[in-house]
Structure 1
Amino acid sequence: MPMKLYVGDILLFKKTHPCGGAEWEVLRTGMDFRVKCLKCGHSVMIARVKLEKDIKKVLKSMGGNPAASPEQEQ
């Protein structure tokens, strides 16, 4: 079963980007994901299967509701 990931989620990957950043923002979801490095701004397309293997942790999840941030939910 695929992971529930949403546009705006912040992901921590197992391996770092060549710039040294390991945190990525999800820009597009589907069979392929577009993610952007939060350190240098470089964006890449990654297949869902590879992305799910590379994720170490979801740091911030939009949870399908872009109007609500995790800090507001308690």
Structure 2
Amino acid sequence: MPLDLKVGDILELKKQHPCGNHKFEIIRTGADFIIKCTKCEKQLWIARANLERRVKKIITKE
């Protein structure tokens, strides 16, 4: 069953970005996701299956 991920959610991933940050914001959802590093603002395209495997914790924005 897929995770309930929404635009604006902050994710903590298992592996860090090269800038040293673990937190990413979801910009676009669907079969592919666009996530943005919260430290250096770099945007990444990642497949849903790969993203769901890498998620450590979901921090929802309220």
In the superposition, the TM-score normalised over structure 1's length comes to: 0.81
Deviation at residue 7 of structure 1 after TM alignment? 0.2
Q: Which amino acid aligns with 2:13?
A: F
Q: Report how many aligned residue pairs link the two structures.
A: 62
Deviations 1:16-45 (A, max 9, x none): 000001100000000000000001000000
Tell me the equivalent position of 2:43.
43
After the TM superposition, which parts of structure 1 deviate over 4 Å for at least 4 consecutive aligned residues?
Answer: none
Q: Percent identity?
A: 50
Letter of the 1:53 counterpart: R
| 1:56 aligned onto 2:60 | no
Instruction: Report the aligned-residue RMSD.
Output: 0.7
- 3-state SS, counterpart of residue 46 of structure 2: strand
* Cα drift, residue 52 of structure 1: 0.2
Distance in structure 1 (CA, Å) of the matches to 2:55 and 2:43? 16
Please identify which structure carries the higher strand content. Answer: 2
**1 CA distance for matches of 2:15 and 2:51?**
11
Show structure 2 runs of 5+ residues with no match: none
Superposition TM-score, scaled by structure 2 size:
0.96
Gaps spanning 5+ residues in structure 1: where? 63-68, 70-74
Larger Cα Rg: Structure 1 or Structure 2?
A: 1
